[in-house]
Amino acid sequence: MNTVTESGLYRLTAHEIQDALREGTATCAAITQSFLDRIEAVDGKVQAYVDVWKDSAMARAEGLDKAIAGGEPAPPLAGASVALKDVFCTKEGRTTCCSKMLANYRSPFDATVVTRLLEAGAIPVGKVNMDEFAMGSSTENSAVQLTYNPWNLNHVPGGSSGGSAAAVAADECAVALGSDTGGSVRAPAACCGCVGLKPTYGRVSRYGLVAFASSLDQVGPLTKDVEDAALVMNVIAGADPKDSTSARRPAPDYTAALRDDVSDITVGLPKEYFEVDLSESVQAKVDDAVKVLEGQGAKVVEISLPHTHYAVATYYVICTAEASANLARFDGVRYGFRAEGVKDVRELYTLSKTQGFGPEVRRRIMLGTYVLSSGYYDAYYLKAQKARALIRGDFEKAFQQCDVILAPTMPMPAFAVGDMMKDPLEMYLTDVYTISANLAGIPSISTPAGLTDDNLPLGLQLMGKHFDEETVLRTAYVYEQHAGLDMGRPPIA
């Protein structure tokens, strides 16, 4: 366990918190107070949180301490402070998706993943910022505030789970939850120098996750190391009768998969991923990672994912179509923002959506409505679904040659605030390496790969077979243990 003073308990990982509780060197209350003090000290600069739950967090921590002192065993995430992306329904506080449309919405229920975290002893400390309705790659589309990268406050934290990644990187929580539709867990993890896991589609319940694109969305953890990602997965994974898309298969013990051995693993390098514009610093880190894994006994082979070049177009047809359908419910009638001074129902719908949604959300709704409209459905949406099947087939063939696929997470480090807001297409292309895993429904992890000369983090991505998060986590763990990275902590006060 890290040796820290009581005031520095916020530096602990979730598994180190469990060690501290077992050894009696810290209490849940002291740990929680340390994280709350950290939020108070640095979040004015980072702006990760949109709501902090001080009172309830301390009450839960004190209740846990009392139960443990009374002889009850500490639950698996006891005392671990958790930041929740504001896309998860919670009975506490508001669930706004960082949109004017849901600015005052209060959920009557908790998302399944939130319930499971609470049952495991985790302590939610608040909601964190995101791109509005999870539509974006930089968290600049939030209707609430900008979130800044703790490594350089002039740069973005990635998106759409930028608040989750920034909170983890700035030590404002032990772990965070995000959602990943096209890279929204992995990309901010890469930008902020933390671990981000997108599980297999159906491995984690989506009940209580406000939908963006239902066939692509998946819940995943953002953590300080790979062991914590496995620890959180032990809690949140598994079938849920409230979610018809959750897989009816038992989840394994992911922490048991973290063996320091990859001698039986074959790593695939997709040649198509290195034929597009890739910064020299990212390419160098990928090359270094290959050497690390080969040095630990892994076999590395070249593979082909021939339909990769269609992935971005395919993704943005499918995700906008599903967004158009999912966001139709926000009509100014039942709940959410309602325009005032309207003359008729048509004007109510038009003005409520126009005023309630931000420009990026409106853009995606219009694109999705267009590709689903009469005369264009076959030309765009149906063709995209066929391309998706080809992309999934590429991965199935590739996994006949290898166990995991290694690739960059992003083609460049985090860009400066405002750099890409004027060109949506350029922003969309930053997802080029992450969206294929969502289209195929496979698990994928981003783990820190070091820093650029400008002191910005870079991420390494590992993708695996359906429901084989164990191999993905094990490979990432071995890389983490042997890469020799000493990134330190972000240079914020």
Kindly list the catalytic residues: 85, 160, 184
What gap in Å lies between CA 282 and CA 294, rounded to an integer? Answer: 19
Q: What angle is formed at CA 466 by the lines to CA 464 and CA 471, rounded to 5 degrees? A: 40
* H or E element in which residue 298 lies: none
Please state, as a whole number, how many other Cβ atoms lie within 10 Å of the Cβ of residue 493.
6
Q: In angstroms, rounded to a whole number, what is the distance separating the alpha carbons of residues 116 and 484?
A: 34
Distance CA 212, CA 430 (A): 19
Q: For CA atoms 483, 429, 221, 453, give the dihedral sign.
A: positive
Instruction: Write the CB contacts of 60 (distance below 8 Å, at least 6 apart in sequence).
Output: 28, 32, 118, 123
CA distance 29 to 35: 10
| Strand residues in 175-217 grouped as ranges (E) | 175-180, 195-198
How far apart are the C-alpha atoms of 423 and 293, rounded to whole Å?
38
DSSP codes, 326-346: HGGG-SSSSSS---SS-SSHH
